[in-house]
């Protein structure tokens, strides 16, 4: 049985290093792990309870919920914008948190990683995303972390998949998440 891991990228930029990192995760996923890169976060409207009505949920938000519901785990990739996560990722988490107490990520293992230009690799954004996902009902895996600093220079001419150190670290992250997502639920 393959473990399905849904990857969400908090950057919409075409040349995003976090998107490249997510592409590397798809490529480097070990046997038995299927990492699917979600497309379409830009189309999801800002969360608003007035439009989150059963039978009338915006199609883009419904697709995100369906993708998350069908996944065994989530892997979030986020840069750091002004000391926190980008709005597009926070918005996705907000949609996935509803309905309250029974959202699409409720109880699912979630790991947050990423890269940023700064010397700490986006740790503030990663911490904020973990906090938000935990409140939204996801089972945040706190001890699996990867924050890669200096993205603009480190990945200027090298794709993350071709950086041996990053590839090894990313493979370890996915392998550990795969193991946790494949564990049977506690009775």
- pLDDT score, position 187: 36
Q: Could you identify the residue written with the tokens 């996902």?
A: 133
> 101: exposed, middle or buried (C-beta count within 10 Å: 0-12, 13-18, 19+)?
exposed
- pLDDT score, position 183: 64
For CA atoms 20, 2, 61, 148, give the dihedral sign. negative
- pLDDT score, position 98: 94
pLDDT digit string, tens, across residues 5-42: 999 999 999 899 999 999 999 999 999 999 999 999 99
Name the nearest CA neighbour of 177 among 32, 79, 19, 1.
32
pLDDT digit string, tens, across residues 97-142: 998 888 999 999 999 999 999 999 999 999 999 999 999 999 999 9
Residue 181 has pLDDT above 90, yes or no: yes
Per-residue pLDDT averaged across 45-70, rounded? 96
- pLDDT score, position 176: 96
Residue 69 has pLDDT above 80, yes or no: yes
- State the Cα–Cα distance between residues 157 and 165, nearest whole angstrom: 15
CA angle 130, 131, 135 (to 5 degrees): 115
pLDDT digit string, tens, across residues 143-174: 999 999 999 999 999 999 999 999 999 999 99
Alpha helices in 30-159 (DSSP H): 59-69, 87-96, 123-135, 151-154
Q: Which helix (H) or strand (E) holds 159?
A: none
Per-residue pLDDT averaged across 89-101, rounded? 95
- pLDDT score, position 186: 43
List, in order of start, the domains of the chain with CATH numbers: 3-181 (3.40.50.360)
pTM of the model: 0.95
């Amino acid at each position: 049985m393959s473990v399905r891991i849904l990857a969400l990228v908090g950057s919409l930029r075409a040349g995003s290093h976090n998107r490249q990192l997510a592409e590397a995760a798809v490529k480097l996923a070990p046997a038995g792990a299927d990492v699917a890169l979600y497309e379409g976060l830009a189309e999801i409207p800002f969360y608003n309870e007035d439009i989150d009505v059963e039978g009338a949920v915006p199609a883009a938000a419904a697709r995100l919920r369906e993708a998350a519901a069908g996944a065994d785990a989530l892997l979030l990739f986020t840069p750091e914008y002004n000391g926190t996560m980008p709005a597009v990722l926070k918005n996705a988490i907000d949609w996935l948190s509803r309905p309250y107490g029974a959202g699409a990520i409720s109880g699912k293992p979630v790991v947050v990683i990423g890269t940023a230009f700064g010397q700490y690799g986006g740790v503030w954004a990663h911490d904020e995303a973990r906090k938000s996902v935990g409140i939204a009902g996801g089972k945040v895996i706190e001890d699996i972390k990867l924050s890669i600093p200096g993205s603009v220079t480190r990945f200027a001419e090298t794709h993350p998949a071709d950086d041996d150190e990053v590839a090894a670290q990313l493979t370890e992250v996915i392998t550990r998440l795969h193991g946790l997502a494949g564990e049977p639920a506690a009775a």
